[in-house]
Amino acid sequence: MVSLDVDAPNVREWLIAHSDALQDCNPRRTDTLDERISRSLEFFARLDAAGLTGWGWPAESGGRGGSTEHRAELYDAITAAGFGMPEQVGALEVLGSALMAHNPGLASRYLPELLAGRALWCQGFSEPEAGSDLASLRTKAVPDGDGWRITGQKVWTSLGHRSDWCGVLARTGAPDSRHRGLTLFWVDLKAPGVEVRPLLTLTGEEEFSEVFLDGVYVPADHVVGPVDGGWGVAMDLLQYERGMWAWQRQAIMHSTLSELIRDLDESDVLAASAVAEGYTSLAALRMRCRETVKRLAAGDLLGPEVSIDKILLGQTEHLIHDAVRAVRVQDFAVTDSAEAAAARAEWFYSRAATVYGGAAEVQKNIVAERVLGLPREAARG
């Protein structure tokens, strides 16, 4: 497995040495979502006490220095040592990177809390009628004294019911301003006017939430980036949502695949073929997002080419979890054990990988038109 070749001080050694002591807060998917979140917070708290979670974040924001590669190495080491990926690191990468780049003051105030396992964040972008087309969102923010009042609705907000803060994208321009009139706000989910309603998924868990905002007050210093400049912040943020999220997911899938290979009966041609196809796709994904992580660490501004990472991620999620179903077909289908239930839940979750963070069809159009330079698809009349 190709590594990042970065020195993250003693991460792997420490995790292996303390593996037994950390099992009571191992975030692996063998219990309820709320329990995994609680374990994830405790897991991060112990890593923070050991001085590990701050690597890759600047010292002025409560980190220990280093680059994006150090963070990627930490996520890789966590799964390689047999631990589940902590639930908070997805939002950490996306919103933490946005705060550092566009409001360092907020980063220095709130990043240390998350790194210490004392907080959880979520992302409020999608709306009932604005998913892939963010430029059409309707949540509105209007000036009020020294701050803003936000009114609207967000949906598919991951872990919203447990989160403390939400990065909310709202319209500050005219109704028809599209992407030119959006602003990103840092919103306290315990503020008056906020209502969060969990949504039950096919896995039987309340992973997503609807967030209703009714005149919620946000101080002026909680604006992330320039007013009406939220589209640029969102595009910057998407580098991490599609790049570093893909790195986190491939780390999880490598752990899954390693365990799966140990259970594989090589005489089962169909199962072996499914594993081989998943392995090939996973290797391609790792190579691709490894280069993305390195470019992020170098300060490169990634453009439409990061959509390739997102396409590969969705494809690989499907293949890896189809391989799990093929190898463990009997347990997968009829066993009520916690492990089988977790495998089924992961399979259902993998089906969404071609939708969340930008639908695969949209990403393919972006790559075709803006990376390969192919002509735009003719309008159907």
Structure tokens, 92: 């950490």
Burial (CB count <10 Å: 0-12, 13-18, 19+), residue 138 = middle
Beta strands in the chain (DSSP E): 121-124, 140-144, 147-158, 165-171, 182-188, 194-199, 208-219, 223-224
3-state secondary structure (DSSP) of residue 65: strand
Q: Which residue has the tokens 């936000």?
A: 150
C-alpha angle 110-111-117 in degrees, rounded to nearest 5 = 100
C-alpha angle 187-188-193 in degrees, rounded to nearest 5 = 90
Q: Which residue has the tokens 């599209």?
A: 178
C-alpha angle 325-327-329 in degrees, rounded to nearest 5 = 50
The pLDDT, as a whole number, for residue 380 is: 46
Q: Please list the active-site residues.
A: 241
Per-residue buried b or exposed e for 110-123, using 16+ beta carbons within 10 Å of the residue's own CB: bbbebbbbebbbbb
CA distance 111 to 105: 10
Domains of the chain: 11-87 (no CATH), 122-229 (2.40.110.10), 243-371 (1.20.140.10)
Residues 189 and 211: beta-carbon distance below 8 Å: yes
Half-sphere exposure of 54 (CA within 13 A, CB side): 17
Residues of the chain with pLDDT under 50: 380-381
pLDDT tens profile 274-287: 999 999 999 999 99
DSSP per-residue string spanning 259-299: HHHHH--TT-HHHHHHHHHHHHHHHHHHHHHHHHHHHHHTT
161: which residues sit within 8 A by CB, 6+ positions away? 196, 197, 198, 206, 209
CA distance 236 to 301: 8
250: which residues sit within 8 A by CB, 6+ positions away? 282, 285, 286, 289, 313, 316
Closest CA to 103 of 223, 16, 241, 218: 223
Q: What is the DSSP letter of 375?
A: P
Structure tokens, 182: 């959006």
Burial (CB count <10 Å: 0-12, 13-18, 19+), residue 275 = buried
201: which residues sit within 8 A by CB, 6+ positions away? 207, 208, 348
pTM confidence score: 0.91
pLDDT tens profile 63-101: 989 999 999 999 999 999 999 999 999 999 999 999 999
Strand partners, 198: 209
CA distance 221 to 215: 17
Structure tokens, 277: 């196809």
The pLDDT, as a whole number, for residue 169 is: 97
The pLDDT, as a whole number, for residue 75 is: 94
CA distance 259 to 350: 18
Tell me which amino acid residue 146 is.
Answer: D
Residues 167 and 98: beta-carbon distance below 8 Å: yes
CA distance 307 to 289: 11
